[in-house]
Amino acid sequence: MSIIRHPIWQYAYFVEDIDEACHKWHKMMGAGPFRVVRHHIAEDFRYKGEHVEADVSYAFGQCGPAHIQFIAQHDDTPSIYRDMFKKGDYGFHHIGLLIHDVAAEVKRFEEAGYPSVCTLWGGDYVHYMDARHDMGCYVELHGDAPIIQDMFNGLKTDHDAWDGDVSGLIQEQG
């Protein structure tokens, strides 16, 4: 049986410029609108066991049936992002899975040789499993608390109802 047993709900890219990525994906693929959180310090962000306060911005949006995330790190603090991409390098970072029992999935992944290298709280528990040697990316195991499901369902609803007007492409979040 395969290691990944849940649908992929997110494709995440490490980018230099959040706004530029939103505009390019809208132009190329009709993605959007995007909810943007700038200079966010994640709650209880731990990378390789150490507390981290990296300066990171995120954009969350939808492209057809797929949830898309853009990530930009504004400093060189060691992190799950800088571990994969040095300053000036950008690309695909992780796939995301919504998981009911995160602890059980983390255990399964670790027993299969994919260690958890980063944890944080994002409305529910999140673990990044290092699958780069087999897949070229991390696998994000994200708890599926109702607040998380509501957020991602809202992105899909916004995308489906959106008229594509670029004036509403980027929606700043608190």
Q: Is residue 76 part of a domain?
A: yes
User: How many structural domains is the chain composed of?
Assistant: 1
Which of helix, strand or coil describes residue 48? coil
Amino acid identity of residue 112, one-letter, is A
91 lies in a domain?
A: yes
Band (89; pLDDT cuts 50, 70, 90): very high
Q: Is residue 81 part of a domain?
A: yes
Higher pLDDT, 174 or 154: 154
* Amino acid code (one letter) for 63: C
Assess if residue 65 is contained within a domain: yes
Determine the Cα–Cα distance for residues 126 and 87; give it in Å rounded to an integer.
Answer: 25
> For residue 174, is pLDDT > 90?
no
Is 88 contained in some domain?
yes
Confidence at residue 30, expressed as pLDDT on a 0 to 100 scale = 96
pLDDT tens, 18-77?
Answer: 999 999 999 999 999 999 999 998 888 999 999 999 999 999 999 999 999 999 999 999
Cis peptide bond N-terminal to 146, omega within 30: no
Q: Considering the domain boundaries, does residue 169 fall inside one?
A: no
CATH number of the domain bearing residue 96:
3.10.180.10
DSSP codes, 6-40? S-EEEEEEE-S-HHHHHHHHHHHH----EEEEEEE
* Residue 167 located in a structural domain: no
Q: Which two tokens stand for residue 171?
A: 């929606």
- pTM of this prediction? 0.94
In terms of residue numbers, what domain contains 81?
8-161
CA angle 104–77–36, rounded 5-degree value: 75
Query: Is 137 inside a domain boundary?
Result: yes
